[in-house]
Structure 1
Amino acid sequence: MKSLQERGYDWEELKRSKAWEDRDRYLDVFVDSDSRMYRDITQSQKILINFEGALILSFVSFSYSESEVDDEDDAVVASEEEESVVEDIVYISPTPSGNVYFAEHFDDVSQFNKKWILSEAKKDDIDDDIAKYDGKWEVEAPMKNGLNGDLGLVLKSKAKHAAISARLDRPFKFNVKPLVVQYEVNLQEGQECGGAYIKLLSQGKQTADLRQFHDKTPYTIMFGPDKCGNDHKLHFIFRHKNPLNGTITEKHCKKPKDRLEEPFKDKLPHLYRLVISSDNTFTVSLDHKVVNEGSLLEDFTPPVNPPAEIDDPEDKKPADWDEREKIPDPEAQKPEDWDEDAPVTIPDPDATIPENWLEDEPEMISDPNAEKPDDWDSDMDGDWEAPLIPNPRCEGADGCGPWKPPHINNPEHKGKWRAPLIDNPNYKGKWKPRRIANPDFFEDKEPYKMTDIAAVGLELWSMSNMILFDNIIITDDPSVADAWAAETFDLKRKKLDKDGESLFSRLVNYTNEQPWLWAVYVIVIGLPIVLILAFCFHCIEKEEQRRAAEAKKTDAVTPDDEVLQEEVAKPTKSKSQLEVQEVVEEGAGDVNEEEADNEEANKDEVASADAGDAPSSPKKRTSRKE
C-alpha cells in the first residue's frame, strides 16, 4: 500500500486539519467495538481512513462555503420563493381572453342557471320508467383538495340517464383556424362503468330546442374518457357527412398507445384537450401531455374516404377451381406389413411376477368382525353380506390376486396409413373475386371541415356518482386554452403537490435547483459505504486467518472438528489411551493460556515453540490417576 507521501499529501498539514481532530468520531462508523478487530487494521489503513474523512469534511465545508458566498443572491430568491409556496394558493374565477366561443367555470351559480338547460326528453325504445333523463346535477365544491371559491358541475346520481347542455356564444365554423376543446373531469368516487365525455352538438333544427337533448341528438364531435370493466377509453369520434348522398357516418379514432387507467381510479382532477387543425391533423392531450395524435384521413375507423375499387359482389368462384396446394399421392400404396389394427401398447414380454406376490390371496376379504344388523330384512334388503376390507395378508406382500404384466409401447404400432402429400398439378391459387370500380367512391380531402358546432352537452349514464366537470372552454387558439388552464387546473395540481409534498420530495426539489449537491451526496453517502464494505471484508478475512492459525497450534476441539466427529465413527480406545489423551488436552490448554499472555508481535515465534512442546507434554505431566 502506498504511503501518504507517495500519494502526494502533506502529513503535517493533514494533522493540523479539523477533520484530523474528529478522526476518532469518524472511525466509529467503520471500526467495530471489539478492540481485537481494530488491532487487525494496519497503521497505513488507519491513516487512510482518517484522511478520507478529512477529505469528505473539507469538501463539504468548501462546497457549502462556496455556495454561500457565490450564490448569495440565488439564496435570497429561493427563500422568497419558499415563503410564497408556504402561503395558500389564491384562486380567482378566470376571465377568458382572446377568441373564445364558450367558457364556463361554474363559479357563478346564477349565471349557470341562465346558461345551462336540463333535458326533458325521453329515450326511445325503452320502458318509460327508465327512459327519462332524471339524473341529478348540482353546482358545488369538490369533495376534497379544492381551491377556495372554486365550484364545478357534479353528476350526483348513478344508474340514471342524465343530460344537460348549453349553447355556444356563437357557432364554431371549421374554416381555417383550429378547434380547441378543453375541460376538466374529476371522478371523485372512481369509475366502475360509464362515461365522462362531452358532445359538441351540431347546428341545425334538431338542436334548436336543447330541452329535447337526448342520445340521438346530432353531434359533430364526442370527446372524453369512458370506461366499463377493464376497457379504458379516451374517445374522439367525429361524424362525417358523405358529399355524394349526405349520409352521416361515425369515425372512431385509433386507441392511444399508452394505457389510461390512472384517471379512472386516482380520484383527482384531470385536464383533457382536443385540437383539430385545418391540415387534417389532431392531438389529444391529458394533463398537458400528448397521448394520441394523427391524421383525420388515416387514423380513423372506418376511414373517411372509401376505397376506389371493391370486390365484385356478382362474381362467383368457378366449380372446377382447385385451391388445394397439396393432395394425397394417388399412386402411393400401403405397405404389406403395415398393420393398422396393431394396439398402441402390449404386455411386457420380459416382465416376471415378483417373488412376494400372493396370487392365491384376494385383495379384499369380508370383514370377519362384521355382524348383520338386527333390523336387516332379507325380503326387503336382500341377502346380507359382510362389508369388504383390505386383506391383512397383503400388507407385507408386493401384491395379491391374479398378476398381470405391465404394458409397454407396441413397436409394431403404426396407426392408420395415409398416402403422402404431393404438389397438386391442378392448383390454381386462392380464388378472389374480381375488382370493380366502387360506385360509392368519393374523396374528401378536407375532413377538417365538419358540421358547424352550436352547443356543448353532457349526455351520460354512469354506475358511479359524484363526477365533477369544470372549466370547459372552446376556442381557436391553443394559447388561450393554456392561459385558462394556468388559472384553473394548474393551480389545483399545484395545491395537490403542495399538500402531498414530503420532506424527501422537498429535498429532491431543492437538490434539483442546486445540482452540485448530487456530487456531495455521492461522496458523503457512497464513499463511506464502499469503505465500510471493504473494511468488513478485510475483518472477515483476518478473522478466518486468525482461526486457521489457532487451529494449527492447538489440539483443542474446534467447531469443524465437532462436525467431523459426528460424521465419522469414533474408534474404540483403551483405558491407557484415554489417560494419555487427557494429559495431552491438559497440556494443550496450558499452551493456550501461555499464548494468550504473550504479545501479538511474537505470535508466530510462540506458536512454533508451543507446537514443539506439545508432543512432550505427556512426559512432563502425569494424569490424576497416576
Structure 2
Amino acid sequence: MHHPVGGRSAQAQPVCKALRGLKFLSTSRNTAGSISGAPDRANQKAPPDRGREKKTHLRAAMSRAKVPGPLWALWLMRAALATVYFQEEFLDGESWRNRWIPSTNDSKFGHFRLSSGKFYGDIQKDKGLQTTENAKFYAISSRFKPFSNKGKTLVIQYTVKHEQKMDCGGGYIKIFPSELDQKNLNGKSQYYIMFGPDICGFDIKKVHVILFYKNQYHSNKKPIRCKVDGFTHLYTLTLRPDLTYEVKIDTDIIESGSIEEDWNLQKIRRMEKSALKMPENWDKLSQNDKPSDVPSQDWDKHLLDASANKPSDWNSELDGEWQPSVIQKPKHKDGLKLDNSDYKDVWLHKKIENPGYLQDFEFLEYEDIGVIGLELWQVRSGTIFDNFLITDDENYAADFGLKTWGRTKDPEKEMDMIQAKEEIKKAREEEEQLIRENIKEKYFQSQTAKDEL
C-alpha cells in the first residue's frame, strides 16, 4: 500500500513505523519458501500456509510494539495485502539441502556449499549458496506453492557476492513454471524470467532482464551495468501490471521505464493496415493522377535496408527476432513521390493502432510460477547467492533488503579492509624476514671467507 508523503498526520507516523516493523516480522513467517525443512525430493510440495501460527506471531509482535488496540484490525488488513511467495535466508544450517534440489542432468555440474565467504558482515546471516568448482556449469532450484501474478506487482530480489572478483560467469537467477523437472534442470529448460548480473571480460558487465512471451525470450534493450567488485550487492526487479518496471542495485534505481518500449514491443502494438484501397492501376498512374486525399503525415517514409545482413553473433533467444535496419527515403512529396530514379512510387500501408492490443497483451502475466533456480556457468567459482525473495509488495521487499543486506554490508567492507591490512602487514614482515636472512647469510659467508684466509 502506497501513501503520499504528506498523507499522514505527524501523530500517526510513529504508529505506522511500528506497523511496518510488525509487517516484516509477521509476513516473513508466512512464506511458501520458509526456512522450515521440506521433504528431500525433486518435486516436493510447498509447506502449507500456517495461518494460526501467523496470527500468534502477529499478536505477540503487536504486544511487544504496544500498538493501540483499535489499530489491530487495520494492521491485519495491511499485513494481508503483502504476499510473500518465497523467502530464503539459509538460517537453519544444512537443512537447505531439503529445499534446494541439484540437477542431475549432467554429472559434470558443479557443486554448491553453504558459506559466508572469506569476509562477511555476520557469519550466520551472510551464509548463502556458494559455487565451489572452476570452469563448471551449475544447476540447482527450489520449489514453492505455485501462483499467478496476473494483475499484481511482482518483485524478485536477492543478493549476490562475487568474492572471487568475477572475470567470466553468471550471477543471475531464473524463475520457472511449477511443471519444471528439477532433477533435469539445464540450459534448455524453459523459464519465465531471467534476472541478474553477467560478467565476461571487458565487454560484458550487464544486468540481464529477460522475459518469456509467446514462446520467445525478450531481452531489455537498454544496457544495464552490474557491479563488478567483490562485495555483496542487492539486486531487485519490480514488474508492475501497468507495464512499468524498475531495476535496483543496492536500493538505487538504475533503470526504469515502459516494458513495451524497452523490450521492443511496439511492433506488437502497431499493425499495418491500408487506410485506402490501392487502385488496381496504381503502377501506371502518374504522380499527378494519384489520389490527392492521401494523408501524407500518416505514411511510412522508410524502407528496409535490403543490403543489411544478420550479425554472426546474433542470439535469437536473447536478442529477439532479427530485423534489418531501415533507411530513409529521399525527398518525399505527399508521402509518395520519390525524386530518386532508383526508386519507384510504392503503395505505402498506413500503420494504425491495434484496437485489440491491450486485451491481447499479456506480457507480464504468468499463471504458474512455482520454482526459483540458478542455472549458469562460471570460469572462477566463489560466488555467494543469498536472501532470495519473491513477493507482490514493494515496501516489504525494501524492508527485507534493509534488514538483511542493509545490516551487514558495512561490517562486510570493514572486515575486508582489516584483512587487507593484515595481509599487507604479513607480506611486509615476510619480506623483512627474507632480507634479514639474506643479510645473515652474507655475513656468515664473509666470516667463513676471512677464516679461510
**TM-score, with length taken from structure 2:** 0.55
Check the 8 A contact 2:121/2:410 in 1, yes or no: no
Aligned equivalents of 1:136, 1:273: Cα separation in 2: 26
User: How far apart are residue 135 of structure 1 and its match?
Assistant: 0.6
Residue 122 of structure 2 aligns to which amino acid in structure 1?
L
Residue-by-residue CA offset, 1:184-241 (whole Å, 9 max, x unaligned): 000011111111100000233xx1x210111111111000001222221101010012
What corresponds to 2:221 in structure 1? 254
Aligned equivalents of 1:133, 1:475: Cα separation in 2: 34
Please give the root-mean-square deviation of Cα atoms over the aligned residues, in Å: 3.3
| Secondary structure of the structure 1 residue equivalent to 2:260 | coil
Check the 8 A contact 1:182/1:473 in 2, yes or no: yes
Aligned equivalents of 1:165, 1:288: Cα separation in 2: 26
Q: Give the 3 Å change call, closer, same or farther, for CA 462–437 of structure 1 in structure 2.
A: farther
Check the 8 A contact 1:280/1:446 in 2, yes or no: no
What corresponds to 2:174 in structure 1? 199
Q: Give the 3 Å change call, closer, same or farther, for CA 116–501 of structure 1 in structure 2.
A: closer
Q: Which of 89, 93, 112 in structure 2 is aligned with 1:105?
A: 89
Residue 250 of structure 1 aligns to which amino acid in structure 2?
Y
Q: Give the 3 Å change call, closer, same or farther, for CA 136–295 of structure 1 in structure 2.
A: same
User: How far apart are residue 295 of structure 1 and its match?
Assistant: 1.2
Check the 8 A contact 1:101/1:474 in 2, yes or no: yes
Check the 8 A contact 2:116/2:384 in 1, yes or no: no
Aligned equivalents of 1:105, 1:426: Cα separation in 2: 67
| Secondary structure of the structure 2 residue equivalent to 1:191 | coil
Residue 84 of structure 2 aligns to which amino acid in structure 1?
V
Q: Which of 70, 93, 100 in structure 2 is aligned with 1:116?
A: 100
Residue 301 of structure 1 aligns to which amino acid in structure 2?
N
User: How far apart are residue 153 of structure 1 and its match?
Assistant: 0.4
Alignment map for 1:613-624 (pairs within 5 Å): none
Check the 8 A contact 1:203/1:451 in 2, yes or no: no
What corresponds to 1:240 in structure 2? 213
1:494 paired with 2:410, answer yes
Aligned equivalents of 2:266, 2:199: Cα separation in 1: 24
Residue 165 of structure 1 aligns to which amino acid in structure 2?
S
Q: Give the 3 Å change call, closer, same or farther, for CA 302–142 of structure 1 in structure 2.
A: same
Q: Which runs of 4+ in 1 moved over 6 A?
A: none
What corresponds to 2:231 in structure 1? 268
Unaligned runs of 5+ in 1: 1-91, 123-131, 242-247, 312-317, 319-424, 503-626
Alignment map for 1:585-600 (pairs within 5 Å): none
Aligned equivalents of 2:380, 2:344: Cα separation in 1: 52
- Sequence identity (%): 31
Q: Give the 3 Å change call, closer, same or farther, for CA 114–427 of structure 1 in structure 2.
A: closer
What corresponds to 1:218 in structure 2? 190
Aligned equivalents of 2:146, 2:350: Cα separation in 1: 39
Aligned equivalents of 1:214, 1:437: Cα separation in 2: 45
**TM-score, with length taken from structure 1:** 0.40
1:484 paired with 2:400, answer yes
Alignment map for 1:71-220 (pairs within 5 Å): 95-96=28-29, 98-122=82-106, 132-150=107-125, 151-168=127-144, 170-204=145-179, 207=180, 209-220=181-192
Alignment map for 1:38-77 (pairs within 5 Å): none
What corresponds to 2:253 in structure 1? 290
Aligned residues: 276
Alignment map for 1:449-488 (pairs within 5 Å): 449-488=365-404
| Secondary structure of the structure 2 residue equivalent to 1:147 | coil
Aligned equivalents of 1:461, 1:500: Cα separation in 2: 26
Q: Give the 3 Å change call, closer, same or farther, for CA 149–216 of structure 1 in structure 2.
A: same
Q: Give the 3 Å change call, closer, same or farther, for CA 488–432 of structure 1 in structure 2.
A: farther
Aligned equivalents of 1:174, 1:469: Cα separation in 2: 24
Q: Give the 3 Å change call, closer, same or farther, for CA 135–310 of structure 1 in structure 2.
A: farther
Residue 155 of structure 1 aligns to which amino acid in structure 2?
T
Higher-strand-fraction structure:
2
User: How far apart are residue 435 of structure 1 and its match?
Assistant: 4.5
